[in-house]
Amino acid sequence: MTVYIAVGAVLLLGLVLAYRVLGGSAGGTVDSELLVRSAAASLSDVVSVASHDEPRRLRRRVDLAQQQLEEADAASLSPSEAEAHALLMAAAGELHWALRMLESPSSAVTGIQDAAAMLISDAGRCTARAAQQLALSDATEPVDGPAQPLAE
């Protein structure tokens, strides 16, 4: 019986070691602002080519952007970045559904195409507004350190 316990402990230790070596518990900090900006760029690209490109490939890009947004810590973002984050989450959801509609066998139906086009259009408005919020965030970033008087 003790042999089984020892073997189990060694296996558990091996699994924990492998998990650590492969980076499972990296514990590093994530740059939430960078994730939001990357997702914004990706979603803007998807909106611009949504009616011309393959829906399945685009949906994978939307899913990746959505994962980036979920990984971002919204509490660490500035108010304008947090608003951009919320807008991008909405845009990702709308693009996901629009692309699913376009993937379906019934996508030739005019009503489905119109609904998908409306969702893509609204996602475009969300990404444009998010880009404005991110630009506003850039404009209001504090300058490092106190202001120095000009030497005469």
Residues 57-98 pLDDT 10s: 999 999 999 999 999 988 899 999 999 999 999 999 999 999
**Which CATH number goes with the domain that contains 114?**
1.20.120
Within-domain flag for 152:
no
Interatomic CA distance for residues 111 and 67, integer angstroms: 30
Within-domain flag for 133:
yes
Residue 99, phi then psi, degrees to nearest 5? -70, -35
Helix, strand, or coil (residue 29): coil
Within-domain flag for 17:
no
* Contact call for residues 50 and 99 (beta carbons, < 8 A): yes
Query: DSSP label at 25?
Result: T
pTM of the model: 0.72
Give the type of residue at 142.
P
103-107, 120-124, 136-140: the lowest-pLDDT one: 136-140
Check residues 25 and 42 and name the one with the higher pLDDT: 42
Give the type of residue at 54.
E
Within-domain flag for 7:
no
- Res 23 pLDDT > 80: no
Within-domain flag for 10:
no
Within-domain flag for 42:
yes
Within-domain flag for 151:
no
State the pLDDT at residue 28.
Answer: 56
Q: Report the share of the chain in percent with pLDDT over 90.
A: 51
State the pLDDT at residue 24.
Answer: 57
Q: What is the mean pLDDT of the chain?
A: 84
- Res 18 pLDDT > 80: no
Q: What is the DSSP string of 99-138?
A: HHHHHSGGGGSHHHHHHHHHHHHHHHHHHHHHHHHHHHHH
Q: What separation in angstroms does the CA of 12 have from each of 7, 9, 25, 136? A: 9, 5, 16, 50
Within-domain flag for 12:
no
Residue 60 φ/ψ region, left for φ over 0, alpha for ψ in the -120 to 50 degree band, beta for the rest: alpha
Domain span at residue 126 reads 29-139
- Res 151 pLDDT > 70: no
Query: In this predicted model, what pLDDT tens digit does every residue of 52-65 receive, in sequence order?
Result: 888 899 999 999 99
Residue 139: CB atoms within 10 A of its CB come to: 8
State the pLDDT at residue 29.
Answer: 64
Number of domains in the chain: 1
